[in-house]
Structure 1
């Protein structure tokens, strides 16, 4: 990185990790709404535990795909990106999770192209023009971070941060918890990011897994919930 661009690089990290980034993640709770309704999450301690489950799941699935997609994007290997995308889509369980990754991915791509040129992202979107539901946030995220010249570690960290921020943002609207508590939880779970990244580096795409029965049951419950604030 050019030393004179160091501060701009830092500000780009801040901008694209901002929880207020308008990519639609505020509409999703990542299963938290059902977790609260079923009393799996009742206080700040159980909320932190729930986020850790989600981040552990991310490290063994999304994070692995992010690493591979980032490497393919750096090589500008569009065919490899398509293959990684297709493989990732087979691992997403539940129609609401599929909806979340597609919606957020599409909005992130649209936002980025409004503020930055990207031949690679335009080509990737063109190849999906007849089936935009197959776009995935994780793969779009990797392409964008590559185009911004962020490192692979930074790319993983931003996605990790986004998951925790999404859930905590929903928590403020769903349960009795204040911003001091949510910020403390965010500070604590972020201490584990290096361990999560190391786990994601250890796995190949064939070894990825999302074994998390509690989470899968909560997501399934939300589909038929009578009262819903969030889309998942």
Structure 2
């Protein structure tokens, strides 16, 4: 395959698996913005952008680090390391709802991968999930798929950050008064920060992986006992 054909194929794969309507259940979650809006923390375009940036920072220091380690382990044929990476990642999720989100989306993505591609590695990972050996977090499952597709780390991180931003913005569109133009403007502004978040993730050692973000953790706890909920987190 020529270099241009390979590049075109990679772009197509990025579009497919970076699509916000990929059937892994992301639309049922809000990454905490539902509580942020109901508590009055997010109430306009500026505060929504600040919330998206906070979520992206959290992702860069935690989920993205796990993705990078997963891809590197896969390319070095050290698949057993995925088990420890997955366990390390889930142990850093403090609230039950983020745990549920990463678990459900990770399993759905693995099932989708196994259905599309005949590589036995997906069936192996799915079996680890079903046996309870691992939770099957979304970042690890995503890193496994990206390795199979032969995408590079930058493309993988861009897809992940885009997914985080779009999950929040799509939820906010249904929860507060904000136009589609405002949402797209926020997306364009935060996209310009993706290289900074990627550099942060690439420079974070595995043992430094942390999801520490007090505001998001508190909002997740508030959401658990909320009387009215549109989203699962």
> TM-score, normalization: structure 1?
0.96
Distance 1:76 1:207 in 2: 23
After superposition, give the CA deviation of every residue in 1:121-167 in whole Å (9 maximum; x if it has no partner): 22122222222871100000000011111001111111111000111
In structure 2, runs of 5+ residues without a counterpart are: none
After superposition, give the CA deviation of every residue in 1:162-205 in whole Å (9 maximum; x if it has no partner): 00011111011111112111111111101011111111111111
Distance 1:195 1:227 in 2: 36
Greater Cα offset, 2-11 or 12-21: 2-11
Distance 2:8 2:185 in 1: 26
Equivalence for 1:228: 229
How many residues of Structure 1 are paired with residues of Structure 2 in the alignment?
Answer: 232
Equivalence for 1:170: 171
CA deviation after TM superposition for structure 1 residue 23, in Å: 0.8
In structure 1, runs of 5+ residues without a counterpart are: none
CA deviation after TM superposition for structure 1 residue 6, in Å: 2.1
Distance 2:45 2:133 in 1: 37
CA deviation after TM superposition for structure 1 residue 76, in Å: 2.7
Q: 1:108 to 1:132 in 2, by over 3 A?
A: farther
Greater Cα offset, 36-45 or 66-75: 66-75
Q: 1:164 to 1:132 in 2, by over 3 A?
A: farther
CA deviation after TM superposition for structure 1 residue 29, in Å: 0.2
In the alignment, is the contact (CA less than 8 A) between 1:31 and 1:215 conserved in 2? yes
Q: 1:132 to 1:100 in 2, by over 3 A?
A: farther
> TM-score, normalization: structure 2?
0.96
Aligned CA RMSD, in angstroms, stands at 1.3
